[in-house]
Amino acid sequence: MRDQPARPRSSRRTLRTFAVCAIPAALAAVFLSCVGWLSPRLNARRIVNAFEATTTPHPGFRRNHAKGICVTGHFDSNGDGALLSRASVFAKGRYAVVGRLSIPGGDPGEDDAAATVRSLALRMTLPRGEEWRLAMNSTPVFPVRTPQALLEQLQADARDPRTGRRDPAKMQAFLDSHPEARAFRRFIEQHPPSSGYDNATYYGISAFQTIDAHGIRRFVRWEVVPDKPYRAVDAGDLRDPDFLFYDLSKSLRKGPLRWHLFMNVAMPGDTTDDSTRQWVSSPRRPRIDAGTLVIDRAQTQIDGACRDLAFDPTVLPDGIAPSADPLLAARSAAYAVSLQRRTSEEAAARARAH
């Protein structure tokens, strides 16, 4: 497997990969009833249908980030996060973690060489029955700002039902009409993908609110920074279509992997409802290291602990709240539809087998 020749990556395919990079796992159906962006013209089912139109059918798999690996470990909170939030996760202590590392796209057999983005999703189990779910990408911004723009992006990336091919002119027309996507493209061009899952930084992308013990609210964006030094992917890595899985498993045999969870606090002038705009790096920006994420085991996604988890970034403990970013509610609702579809497909397959 390791000495298979690398597959060429055209810029057209790269644009397709960018277009679907930000929706990770499918999520719980309860959110369908509580999001305000649903309408006859734009709703979660249309978003999921558009994702499905970008690839061939793969029943039982997630509609995006279909290829991934389950991981388990814990979060060691150092207590410093309590400066910003009263959330129980920031009390000093250790909290169990189930997660998933993945690449974009709806094909579970996708070649890892095609992916310019890595993604990390987490569920932290907290006291009093609370949970914190995070869905992060290795890019700090998203290509589009609104659910409507996301739908248009996916439609531009769709396969022709007759030929099974994409029309690159449609994607180019979309990009020409959405200048906000330039920041995402610029980041990708200037930051080659990491050589592995274990040496990538993962960003929450959207802003969230933290509420401290005195009720004071602040906007933050978080990122998870690896202890392992970044290395750009090279031709040697790309010879194996599953090098991300292989190298992660190899690294874990040597010992646990660690990342630090940082919270970056908004400054005057920072946008808090637009995922296409990155906050300016500044030495004056408050930045808190809240603790260490430790991953010590990996399992296949077929039978691993993450198999039936929905990593909805709006599942938050008391002390953290969503911002007004419209993508958060849209993601939550779309994940619910996706989860319902894949679990129904799995149930139907089991019924046929018996």
Q: Are 4 and 298 in contact (CB under 8 A)?
A: no
Domains of the chain, earliest start first: 11-353 (2.40.180.10)
Catalytic residue, from 58, 65, 214, 260: name it.
65
Active site residue 191: no
Angle made by CA atoms 334, 117, 70, in degrees to the nearest 5: 70
Over residues 250-285, the pLDDT tens digits come to 999 999 999 999 999 999 999 999 999 999 999 999
Q: Under 8 Å CB-to-CB from 331, ≥6 apart: which residues? A: 22, 23, 27, 135, 312, 313, 314
Query: Is-contact 76 90, C-beta < 8 A?
Result: no
Which pair of structure tokens corresponds to residue 299?
């399992």
Full pLDDT tens readout for the chain, 354 residues: 333 333 444 433 433 443 333 333 322 223 333 334 445 568 889 999 999 999 999 999 999 999 999 999 999 999 999 999 999 999 999 999 999 999 999 999 999 999 999 999 999 999 999 999 999 999 999 999 999 999 999 999 999 888 889 999 999 999 999 999 999 999 999 999 999 999 999 999 999 999 999 999 999 999 999 999 999 999 888 889 999 999 999 999 999 999 999 999 999 999 999 999 999 999 999 999 999 999 999 999 999 999 988 899 999 999 999 999 999 999 888 888 898 999 898 888 888 888
Q: What CA dihedral angle connects 339, 340, 343 and 348, to 10 degrees?
A: -150
Q: How far apart are the C-alpha atoms of 201 and 175, rounded to whole Å?
A: 26
Give the H/E segment covering residue 294.
strand 287-300
Q: Look at the pTM and tell me if it is higher than 0.85.
A: yes
Question: Is there a binding annotation on residue 95?
Answer: no
pLDDT in tens, 208-235: 999 999 999 999 999 999 999 999 999 8
Measured CA distances, 46 to 49, 53, 214, 333 (Å):
5, 10, 42, 11
Q: Which DSSP string do the residues of 164-184 spell out, in sequence order?
A: --B-HHHHHHHHHH-GGGHHH
3-state percent breakdown (helix, strand, coil) of the chain, nearest 5: 30, 25, 45
Residue 251 CB coordination number (10 Å) = 18
Packing angle between helix 147-156 and helix 168-177, nearest 10 degrees? 150
- d(CA 113, CA 4) in angstroms, rounded, equals 12
Distance CA(90)–CA(84), nearest Å, equals 9
Say if CB 255 and CB 295 are below 8 A apart.
no
